[in-house]
Amino acid sequence: MEVVRSVYREDHEQFRTTVRRFLERECVPRQEQWLADGIVDRETWLKAGREGLLCTALPTEYGGGGGDFGHAAIIAEEMAYAGVSVSFGLHSDIVAPYIARLGTEEQKQRWLPDICAGKTILAVAITEPGGGSDVKACRTTAVRDGDEWVINGSKTFISNGFCSDMVMVVCKTDPAAGARGVSLILVETNREGFRRGRKLHKVGMHSQDTAELFFDNVRVPAGNLLGEVNKGFGYLMHDLAQERFIIAVTAAAKIERLLEQTIEYVKDRKAFGGTVWDFQNTKFKLADVKANAVALRTMVDYYLGEHMRRRLSGEEAAIAKLHATEVQWKCIDDMVQLHGGYGYMLEYPIARAFVDMRVARVYGGSNEVMRDIITRKM
């Protein structure tokens, strides 16, 4: 059985062709170099901007693509199929929408054109040492001083931490108010007092730069506040659903591609006078993977349609993220086993997926947090 996908329009599928060609031409040949460097070169970001692959859902008047989440989902899917690891999605579909939704007209005119062009690369700084996913426990502070905010604190596990030009910093503007004292402030990385720490050495996703960030009396204009003061927690809760759902979109596509590659491998790999495919265990394991892939694709496409109609709830996003990443990890583990020793060699896509995809159960809110969100309405 193959899932007949009806969630995308013709313009989406035409866009898929553009994305696929760009990845094949500009990204796949550079992936090994990015893995060695621990960062994606800036020229690729600029090329993606020129091709219209950044901020596809943002309005055209600010340089965006004028599309919808379906265009963003296609980019995520095609990256998963191609085995390309570059954080366009974080920039375009997680951070930039905060500016588009909450920013004043002046802020949007000032920042979004360069963001859409790849000239200004975005990051978001939420996680702190010892704090994890607990936004309410944030200890980074921003104190108003005349026409400026003065920011002090530190963040860790920040994707795009080294390549970013602007960081959306989650900070306490009223430390005594808990969740009701959180604000979002945009900080340009050339500000005095801003400092990047060490580049963190992750288990996987080596081409995506991840860093510690430090803010020592960093002064930014009062106009860098995004939205209203002390309303940041609510803003985050509203927009985190899309971040979590993108993870589910990627997981569904990744399983499909890895299944194709594993079937090809076991039918070619010789063992005990036949091929690995000849063993009943192999066929049964891959039947389980396919059943999981079909079920997951059906679920993700349903929620994708809901999100494109702006009806996806936070609980549904948590369900999608939890189920997709748990299924993905089980399927990857089974397919590594079918590769034998080669499944542990990084030149094989399954091994790269093994080290890259484990974090999907952690980032975007750990799966334990997803379970907590789901049980609130039980």
Can you tell me the distance from the alpha carbon of 333 to that of 141, in angstroms, rounded to the nearest whole number?
Answer: 42
Alpha helices, DSSP H only, in the chain? 10-22, 31-37, 42-50, 69-82, 88-89, 96-102, 105-117, 232-268, 280-308, 314-339, 349-357, 367-375
CATH of domain 10-117: 1.10.540.10
**Residue 60, CB-side half-sphere exposure with 13 Å CA sphere:** 3
For residue 132, the model assigns a pLDDT of 66
Q: What is the pLDDT of residue 86?
A: 87
pLDDT digits (tens, 9 = 90+) for 16-41: 999 999 999 999 999 999 999 999 99
- Answer yes or no: CATH 1.10.1380.10 is held by domain 122-230: no
Nearest residue to 142 via CA among 187, 99, 103: 187
Give me the pLDDT at residue 133, please: 64
Q: What is the dihedral of CA 320, 321, 327, 330, to 10 degrees?
A: -170
Side-chain-side CA neighbours of residue 105 (13 Å): 1
* Measured distance CA(341)–CA(61) in Å, rounded: 53
Residue 143 class from Cβ within 10 Å (0-12 exposed, 13-18 middle, 19+ buried)? middle
The pLDDT score that the predictor gives to residue 199 is 84
Task: Give the position of tokens 């997709």.
Answer: 324
| Residues with catalytic roles | 243
Looking at residue 165, its pLDDT comes to 97
Distance CA 212, CA 144 (A): 24
Return the exposure string of 84-99: e unless at least 16 CB atoms fall within 10 Å of the residue's CB, then b: bbbbbbbbbbbbbbbb
* Residues whose CB falls within 8 Å of the CB of residue 168, separated by 6 or more in sequence, listed in order: 95, 98, 99, 122, 123, 124, 125, 184, 185, 186, 187, 226
> Alpha carbon of 211 to those of 132, 223, 254: distances in Å?
15, 26, 26
What pLDDT sits at residue 54? 97
From 343, 197, 191, 326, select the one nearest 265 (Cα to Cα): 343
Distance CA 373, CA 367 (A): 10
What does the alpha-carbon distance between residue 91 and residue 233 come to, in Å, rounded to a whole number?
A: 20
Neighbours of 176 (CB within 10 A): 7
pLDDT at residue number 328: 98
- Which parts of the chain have pLDDT scores under 50? none
pTM: 0.93
CA distances to 9, 108, 326 from 359, rounded to whole Å, are 32, 33, 11
Pairing relation of β-strands 166-172 and 122-125?
A: parallel
Query: What architecture is the 234-375 domain classified under in CATH?
Result: Up-down Bundle (1.20)
Question: In which residue are the tokens 């060490």 written?
Answer: 198
Separation between Cα atoms, residue 378 and residue 373, nearest integer Å: 10
The Cα angle at residue 315 between residues 293 and 1, in degrees rounded to 5: 15
Domain ranges of the chain: 10-117, 122-230, 234-375
Give 3-state DSSP helix, strand, coil % of the chain, rounded to 5: 55, 15, 25
